[in-house]
Amino acid sequence: MTSLIMIFGATGDLAKRKLFPSLYRLFERGRLSEQFAVVGVARRPLSNDEFQQSVKDSVQSALGKDERIDEFASHFYYHSHDVTNSSSYQTLKTMANELDEHYHLGGNRIFYLAMAPEFFGTIALHLKSDGLTDVKGFKRLVIEKPFGHDLASAKELNEQIRTAFSEDEVYRIDHYLGKEMVRNIEVIRFANAIFEPLWNNRYISNIQITSSETLGVEERGRYYETSGALRDMLQNHMMQMVALLAMEPPIKLTTDEIRAEKVRVFRAVRNVEGEDVHNYFVRGQYGEGTIDGKQVPAYRDEPMVDKESNTETFVAGKVMIDNFRWAGVPFYIRTGKRMTTKSTKIVVQFKDIPMNLYYQTEKELNPNLLVIHIQPEEGITLHLNAKKAGGHLDAQEVKLSFANSGVNAMNTPEGYEKLLYDCMRGDATNFTHWDEVAYSWNFVDKISAVWEKSKENFPNYESGSMGPKAADELLEKDGFFWWPVTDLDVDNCQGK
Ligand code: NAP
């Protein structure tokens, strides 16, 4: 795909760890045309040679490869520029026009903002006023999360970027939508006659989505203190997974149709406000504890974190979708740092059969579960009941597993690679539309408004645990429990 890719924040962590290696993989797979150029923008002074060397180093350290790396890196150029400095955009424009001509790029431009969000508005306004968006070809803006801090700031940011780009030119990244198994949710649902007819409140009792990390806040204390798990994870990634699980089948697999169905889900999500927040949502903050045999500090003892911080590092909640398909089915979601294991999984729990004729030796029949393993392992497991060999009327649980491993997994492109490729092709399906962002902030703002008014008794969960007790009680009062994510691992399922 011919285009000029301008990366703002080209000396930063995201560019080095994700963007350069992803671009290289696209180049290596022949998905980048010979006609492409990348302009890196950041403040520190670097020559083109130094910048190209940093690109090569990033690719080598991420992928351990260097085939055709010199050829790849020769397409990279650097411009030292403070994005708040108005005068320097003209130089950037001249550089972009020259590269456009040199590589015959047809005026196609992708502006990737890999920088702190406070700069997004300024950059977008300058790109327009200084004529960088004045092109013959397509112009697209890729922005990273967080998209605002709440609905009001997201609206303000959106208005700023919309002065220079139309909605269909804005690609808001939610990197979960680049994950293979998140993209697979639609296929599993809409390509299987055995699931779609059961995918509703008549047959499903509840759906659980867990995204747990073992890492703490690391070096991101300053940012995290203003964000917390609700804004950092739930507003975007978790709610996107809810939408994909709950949406109606689109009439066609086009961007507009899929997004419209997702927006319909967001519109049906029950808003929770005031005192009710305590009945639907639980927050937590990690104390010290042990992970992988190592003692780790409490959140409040992490660098750049307030000693009396009220920021949540864990959130669990019950999301209700008030429409015909989902009325009465809770979607339980939880996410947190410093938990027992690093894992993202979806568990779809089907309702019990009307009458149990078969008993397992020690316990009642297990409900059928469909487990979608998002990361680190990728796959699907279906939990069924079958006759116990040699037994009489005993049933036992059997698990049918598909693990996306071996050749398939090796060839699975990394999330950012897929999203960059989608953007180059002009496919915005796996990026979030403004309406999704707005509905989701509206939902989350009502929860944070209640939480900000009162201090929680933090820390309330030990590092290395699965969160505070109240998160378990949230399900217990509905007669459910969190399926233990480690027991559900694909490896634990095979051959059983
Ligand atoms: P970072 O490592 O701090 O990099 C920031 C970049 O911005 C650097 O290249 C910095 O270079 C440049 N910069 C800062 N101020 C500038 C200015 N006034 N003018 C021009 N350039 C300036 O940040 P990051 O981790 O890459 O994150 C970038 C964005 O991606 C953030 O919005 C973050 O939330 C988001 N994000 C990151 C990750 C990740 O894995 N890192 C994941 C998801 C989302 P100079 O110092 O040379 O100017």
Question: Predicted confidence band at 443 (pLDDT cuts at 50, 70, 90)?
Answer: very high
pLDDT at 407: 53
Is pLDDT of 494 > 80?
no
Is pLDDT of 162 > 60?
yes
Over residues 465-472, the mean pLDDT reads 98
350: three-class secondary structure by DSSP: strand
Is pLDDT of 493 > 50?
no
Name the closest-CA residue to atom 1, ligand 1. Answer: 12
Over residues 104-108, the mean pLDDT reads 95
CA distance 232 to 113: 18
The pTM assigned to this predicted structure is 0.94
β-bridge mates for residue 369, sequence order: 349, 383
**Ligand 1 residue neighbourhood (C-beta within 6 Å):** 9-14, 17, 42-44, 82-84, 114-117, 144-145
CA of 116 to the centre of ligand 1 (A): 5
CA of 42 to the centre of ligand 1 (A): 9
Over residues 178-194, the mean pLDDT reads 95
126, 82 Cβ separation under 8 angstroms: no
- Kindly report which listed range (125-139, 325-339, 479-493) carries the lowest average pLDDT score: 479-493
pLDDT at 365: 85
Is pLDDT of 412 > 80?
no
Question: Predicted confidence band at 394 (pLDDT cuts at 50, 70, 90)?
Answer: confident
Over residues 72-89, the mean pLDDT reads 94
Given the structure tokens 């990366």, which residue do they identify? 7
Q: Any idea of the CA torsion for 139, 141, 142, 146, to the nearest 10 degrees?
A: -170
Half-sphere exposure (Cβ direction) of 477: Cα atoms closer than 13 Å: 11
Q: Which amino acid is at 155?
A: K
Percentage of the chain surpassing pLDDT 70? 96
CA distance 140 to 144: 13
**Active-site residue identified among 81, 126, 175, 237:** 237
Question: Predicted confidence band at 58 (pLDDT cuts at 50, 70, 90)?
Answer: very high
Is pLDDT of 233 > 90?
yes
Percentage of the chain surpassing pLDDT 90? 85
Q: Is 237 a catalytic residue?
A: yes
